[in-house]
Chain A
């Protein structure tokens, strides 16, 4: 009988974890470059079941992982020259004090020294390190392959300022979310130069959270939770009844 309670409890714990994931997705509905998460569950078999000679196994549910939905988010046209979106599979490389991070959030800025940085001030890397603009640079053009050119001063010719490093991974699930719309690669996951990714200047990639899906998942979670609670309730009642009946000493 305790098994029923514990199986129900395992389901409720898993459901509340799943709600946490849904809540995080919905909170990041408007976060540039955010990738939605999904929960993975697995059956956990326990052979320690008691008082069940015919079927000695009880299956619990366990949340085993959170996977990232790496599909393309919608492109939002902003017209801002330092807003970049990546069309296709690829990530910009960001140098942080903790090492390289990978992001699809292309709302970039320049800092006081003219370096191309993220909203948090970390330099975005080109093929040869950070990309630095000169004081008199204007009309920044970023081509689809990531080449950055500017007009310097009164010159009418394009001056090159570098080439953005865009990388991809053989298995994107080997990326771990780091916060700040960026990912870290686990040991062994090597970034490869992206082949089929294009940079689109003047646009940013919106989050790929599909609100309708998240809302329906949320309803599913609350309903399942209530159902499991119902079963637990019945189990409790059964226990109560048996105590009442068995303890009822006839006069």
Chain B
């Protein structure tokens, strides 16, 4: 058991030498490319959610016309090469991002509500509560089909001192994925670690004579600690028991992966991926590497569900590289000052450029007659509309990819005001084959996604 889930430097070296050689598991039942048509039918649908903080400069974001053939506004211009693959969605609302009696803390709420649609409980420590997020709802239902039920990515670790926002624990500001109402799912910010997690010990290269024995040992380790936890559980109070529940959920997830064994039948795919060395200094480069990791995970069907925070809620980093030396959050309180608004538009556009990079990459990957992008739904946006007003209606949202041909992209659609954002999530979950009775404050499905 020398390589029990551990990082695997020699494996990385091999990958670097050979170009990436990875398995496409849904091809498993077929025997080679001759049966490519079967592949198309079987290629799974994936979904991802990307969070950006502090709202956007809406008048530079929202297209002037609805339907097909809209002119891309300044912020969305970088999406020109994928305009036919996106849906600009206007009018959605996250009501539970509003104070609703809880006072200030819009930024913390904007992250915790983004995928949960649930009013976070205002607390700095005791009993943190949100709701199950849409990605985790999907992961629970379809996650067993892949090695990782979901993949949570970001670029900034959570703040490590002080407070984050107005009496809300930092857990609310630095996470968007919640696997239960009390468990935020921490994100990975180091691309090297994501890579190693995805591909260390997981492909046929690692199969050797000791494999079965190692798997046997891993199983007994997991059995042992699960038993420890269960015995301990009997002795503990309510809050402590919740901790053990989290522990056991973690054990089960690892157990499942061990049970799956290794992915079989590797297939050479485009090796155009640098094996990351760590966190790049350059923010743009960092985001792009994390995007690469998401694409790799989707391409190899290591997971079908992912989230990514381009930055944490209320983030105040500067964007000197694009000529904006001020803090983002500071700027977002622009008071309609045209100089500040221009800077905000530049930041918004910078983020959209990175989205465009991700979408371009996904579009370049063929899956039978479609592309990876066609087979995906990438939901990008912010749960605050305008950073100055902190309002939660008419959110800036883009849905990219056609969900396996079920969404008519290339349009700008507008929904009536106060339409829950969670209705979009319901429609997305349906397309993932992960139907749930509701998510957050959803009231139904979103119409007009396909025409």
The answer to whether A and B come from one shared complex is: no
Q: Please give the residue numbers on chain B whose beta carbons come within 8 Å of chain A beta carbons, in ascending order.
A: none
Q: Please give the residue numbers on chain A whose beta carbons come within 8 Å of chain B beta carbons, in ascending order.
A: none
